[in-house]
Structure 1
Amino acid sequence: MKQKQHILHSLTIEVMAVLLASMIAFQVCNMLGIRMSLLPFVMATGYIILKLLYHLCIIVARYIIEAIPSSHFALANEKTDTSSSVVLPPSAKDCVEVQKKRMELFHYEYQREQQQYQQRKEEEENKKLNAILRYTRETFKRFDLNETEIFQICESVRYFVTNHQVFSMTEVHIKKHNSLTQISLKNFAWNIAFQYNIGRDMTTSFVMATFSEWFANSTFDTVRKNLRTTTGRHKIEIDENILSKYLI
């Protein structure tokens, strides 16, 4: 196909050259008064001159093209490629990959935020528990309880606030001390339960199980009914703000 186009192009040029040479030869003969019998020779001379000019033009054009630095063409191509890359819309596969990466990044950020939130929550819970245990130790140090009994009370409190259940399998039996009354012990249990929003039934079970000798002759309903006492003076008073006092 390309060969046929080349032949057609060459024939067109030849025909145009012959016609142009004929026209020029006729005008020259007419102007200079040359005999018409010499017209073919003048036409042949004109044809040769036109062919020489044609080839000269081709040589000059090729020289100009070769003289231009190739970097100019490279820069032009680069600009064309850049423009093309901007204009061309992304393919469906590229869109899916971008969406996938966005989802992965979102999932990673969500997991990281959840971990940070969980870590902060655990730290806050540990600080709160330490404050409650500190309140417990300092409260019972004021009375005639030994270190083993105080340790057992702290362990019962730890299990109570952590699991919202009563730690009944105690290894140390806490003996009754006359320096502590039922009202003070119930107020202590209420102060602890209030910080963790633990119900009255579970708080009643906790105080009766932990300090069983004080409540040996008391019923569950009686203790539950009078779990919180604010009237009168007692060695352990009702205090809703123990965390603010014992948080370090």
Structure 2
Amino acid sequence: MRQKQYILHSLIIEVAAVLLASMIAFQVCNTFGIRMSLLPFVMGVGYIILKLLYHLCISIARHIVDAIPPSLLISVKKSAKEKTLPLTSSPTSNCEEVQKKRMELFHYEYQREQQQYRQQKEREEDIKLNAILKYTRDTFKRFDLDETEIFQICESVRYFVTNRQVLSATEIHIRKHTSLTQISLKNFAWNIAFQYNIGGDMTTSFVMATFSEWFTNSTFDTIRKNLRTTTGRHKIEIDENILSKYLI
């Protein structure tokens, strides 16, 4: 491939030299009144002079290049490479930068939406818990329980729905009151557990731990089988819609 390029390059130079020598010979003959029969001789002389000038220029150029320090040539090549490199890599780097900024923006928006979602869920849970606690207070205010006992029941309910566990160790003991029956207390516990989709086993444990004096002679299985009583009239009835009544 290089040999073909070299031959083509040499051929172009020769043709250009012949044409230029012909033009110069014609002008010389015309200017100085030289006979046209001598035109080939004049053209040959002009051709030789042009070739000599061509080789002279090449030699001068080589001497100039050889005189330049190698370190300067290397720095010039590096400078030229640095100037051309951004032009070739610019579209790719710009695309990567845009993609990176898009990913950062997407990540930021996702985190912000997740935070807003968590805050919204926390607000909803707080509103729901406040409604449950208000239902608890209003329910037991109708009976002869004192304020400390109602407070302890509310704390047990709060722990029950928040942790899905039973608060067994309490500072305030809830005394047995004849105005409250086992069925009413089980209905109350079921109403609370239903709002949070808490299972029967955990609800049974909550009843037995919170109102222990009412269930001293009852077994776990017996209470578990009869958590929900809808027949007859009771002071605390089954109510699946207590939230709709207490949500503000």
Identity %: 80
* Cα deviation, residue 90, structure 1: 5.0
Give 1:227's aligned residue: 227
Give 2:105's aligned residue: 105
Match status 1:148 vs 2:148 = yes
- Select between 95-104 and 145-154 the one with higher mean Cα deviation: 95-104
Q: Distance in 1 between matches of 2:216 and 2:90?
A: 81
Q: Distance in 1 between matches of 2:161 and 2:119?
A: 19
Match status 1:130 vs 2:115 = no
Q: Distance in 2 between matches of 1:90 and 1:134?
A: 66
The two structures, once aligned, show a CA RMSD in angstroms of 2.7
Aligned residue identity for 1:115: Q
TM-score, reference length from structure 1: 0.65
Q: Distance in 2 between matches of 1:246 and 1:215?
A: 29
Give 1:207's aligned residue: 207
Aligned residue identity for 1:229: T
Determine helix, strand or coil for the equivalent of 1:161. helix
Structure 1, gaps ≥5 residues long: 1-11, 27-87
Q: Distance in 2 between matches of 1:208 and 1:246?
A: 26
Structure 2, gaps ≥5 residues long: 1-19, 34-87
- Offset from partner CA, 1:132-153 (integer Å, 9 cap, x none): 0000000000000000000000
TM-score, reference length from structure 2: 0.65
* Cα deviation, residue 91, structure 1: 2.1
Match status 1:159 vs 2:156 = no
What is the total number of aligned residue pairs between the two structures?
177
- Offset from partner CA, 1:31-78 (integer Å, 9 cap, x none): xxxxxxxxxxxxxxxxxxxxxxxxxxxxxxxxxxxxxxxxxxxxxxxx
Q: Distance in 2 between matches of 1:173 and 1:143?
A: 16
- Select between 144-153 and 95-104 the one with higher mean Cα deviation: 95-104
Give 2:14's aligned residue: none
Q: Distance in 1 between matches of 2:131 and 2:200?
A: 22
Aligned residue identity for 2:164: H
- Offset from partner CA, 1:175-232 (integer Å, 9 cap, x none): 0001100000000000000000000000000011100000011111111111000000
